[in-house]
Structure 1
Amino acid sequence: MLRMAQATIGNSEFDRDTALTRRAVDGDRHGVHDVHLSAGWVIGRAVNGGYLLAVLGRALRADLPHADPFTITAHYLSASRPGPAVVRTERIRAGRGLSTGQATLLQRGADGTEVERIRVLATYGDLDRLTDDVRTTAEPPHLPPYESCPGSADAPGPVPPIAARLDLRLDPATAGWAVGAPSGRGEMRAWFGLADGRPADPLSLLLAVDALPPTAFELGLAGWVPTVELTAHIRHRPAPGPLRVSLTTRNLAGGFLEEDAEVWDSEDRLVAQSRQLAVAPLLGG
């Protein structure tokens, strides 16, 4: 199974690379944070969208009275690059059980002006106060044993920098694209963890929903699949142990596709869901 845990929550590469330095606070509603976007979370030339979602999720956690993201919707406005960035937050509402805020991440463009990269609107609460009442028809994905699933070390060619930070093992049934034999189905499934053994928490779940290779690869399409919008729901604090992630695309039309993600923990609980709209690569691109 997965390697023994080495890193801990708060002391891991993920935590260091999403760390923020508070620059200013404007009353009790606005915050400004500096962050350095690490090149270790890059795919192609752009920073991974799930990593960015975790950065903004951490900023909102610092500036809202509740600690856990319940729902967060991100619009990706321009491609983020490794290097310095600024996160600005605004508290919109603070209630007894839920609080809502928005955040935006900006970087300097080539001409020196600020360029907005991503904007999110989120509602936070306390996952430990959720009831135990569960009524669902959802079922966890069936994956071969971890040891039977190929990882980045088994890839036939070069892998992006983010692959070294993840312990990602793909279901062989959804990895045909890696050897030039895509299944033609819009599916992707994998065991998921962080390479240094850091346990999963609500912030890392924001990474998990956007960390797998895109379903477009199994549809026989190659190239960048930039996210336009992504909404994630965090449903439960994950239990210790590996996560299972499944992605499904049912509709590719007009040059766009959707990806529905489910994240399941070691106790067969659905701990996160997401849907994103992304630009589909051109056939044979």
Structure 2
Amino acid sequence: MSEAAAVQATIGDSEFDRDTAVTRREPGVYDIDLSAGWTIIKAVNGGYLLAVLGRALADALPHGDPFTITAHYLTASRPGPAVVRTDVVRTGRTLSTGQASLFQYDEDGTEVERIRVLASYGDLDALPDDVRTSAEPPAMPPVEQCFGAEDAPPGTSPVTGSSAIMDRLWIKLDPATLGWVLGAPSGKGEMRAWFGLADGRDADPLSLLLAVDALPPTAFELGLSGWVPTVELTVHVRCRPAPGPLRVAVTTRNLAGGFLEEDAEVWDTAGRLVAQSRQLARAKL
């Protein structure tokens, strides 16, 4: 997938897997060192954090695939040590429900909860094949007609500070959603891109939790700039993605009172809708 990846990473053996790996200290308690490689400005990306908690819940619950997961982002997470605590709410034959929270320590040693998650897990491979939908994949130009961060003119990013996460992602944006780069945002609140991990690792259910929150904010195409922190994010994983690059489309219809929603769809190479999400985010006006 990535031209820079000499050897394509595999699921279970990639930077994403290493950086989301949690170590079980005792039942329901996991340690992790949050990587600085997934930051934007000084904060750790919300999709990466959701994948961390998603991995802990996959270990804690009898089912391994996230079906629906909702996160409330309470305070900004920083790179460094963190603790994830999980609780099994209910287990059933086809679905199990659990909750998890991620904690870090402030400078004065006070433990602070960063994120709280409630999720239901199941087995995606056990789902029936029947699909009845009116949804259609986003119409996008081929990859070679789209643009990545390496193609942007110097000094055109509306976000100042670290964007280390971009080195870990393979994103080719639809030119129709790139007006903000040239100082002429469309005002439509849309962002579309081909998406993958920079080391070539194929997508799986956990990496879909990252994919829905990895594109530049739709706020950029609304003429806004700066960080757009997530307040709440809900993801529905619909099926296990086929190998190859994903198509991600994100839209915003309403910005009011300093908050906006982002609705995301993720499609695989088989033309299937593999994940959907909605988040509420705070916009800098």
TM-score, normalised to structure 2, is: 0.95
Question: What is the alpha-carbon distance in structure 1 between the residues aligned to residue 245 and residue 171 of structure 2?
Answer: 10
What is the SS of the residue equivalent to 1:212? coil
The alignment status of 1:154 with 2:156, answered yes or no, reads no
Determine the C-alpha separation between the residues in 1 that align with 2:279 and 2:85.
23
Query: Which residue number corresponds to residue 160 of structure 2?
Result: none
Three-state SS of the structure 2 residue aligned to 1:207 is: helix
Match among 22, 28, 39 for residue 36 of structure 2: 39
The reply to whether residue 58 of structure 1 matches residue 55 of structure 2 is: yes
Equivalent-residue separation in structure 2 for 1:184 and 1:214 (angstroms): 13
- Hey, what's the Cα distance between the residues in 1 that align with 2:247 and 2:51? 19
Per-residue deviation, 1:175: 1.0
SS in 1 for 2:208: helix
How far has the Cα of 1:155 moved from its partner? 1.9
Distance in 2 of aligned mates of 1:156 and 1:98: 48
Deviations 1:138-192, CA, capped at 9 Å, x for gaps: 1100111101111111122367100000000000100111121111111000000
Alignment equivalent of 2:166, drawn from 163, 167, 186? 163
Please name the residue that 2:194 is paired with: 191
TM-score normalised over the length of structure 1:
0.95
Matching residue's letter, 1:21: T
SS in 2 for 1:164: helix
Given that residues 127 and 236 in structure 1 are in contact (C-alpha distance below 8 angstroms), is that contact kept between their aligned partners in structure 2?
Answer: yes
* Partner residue in 2 for 1:241: 244
Which amino acid in 1 is paired with 2:103? L
Partner of 1:86: 83
Question: 1:191-243 CA distances to partner (integer Å, 9 max, x unpaired)?
Answer: 00000000100000000000000000000000111110000000010001110
Say whether 1:13 aligns with 2:23.
no
Check if 1:175 corresponds to 2:178: yes
Answer yes or no: is the 8 Å Cα contact 1:256–1:277 preserved in 2. Answer: yes
Q: RMSD of aligned C-alpha atoms?
A: 1.1
Distance 2:284 2:246 in 1: 28
Alpha-carbon distance in structure 2 between the residues aligned to 1:149 and 1:193: 14
Asked if 1:74 corresponds to 2:71, the answer is: yes
- Contact kept in structure 2, 1:2 and 1:146, CA below 8 Å: no
Q: Distance in 2 between matches of 1:105 and 1:237?
A: 26
Following the alignment from structure 2 to structure 1, what is the Cα–Cα distance between the partners of residues 182 and 64? 42
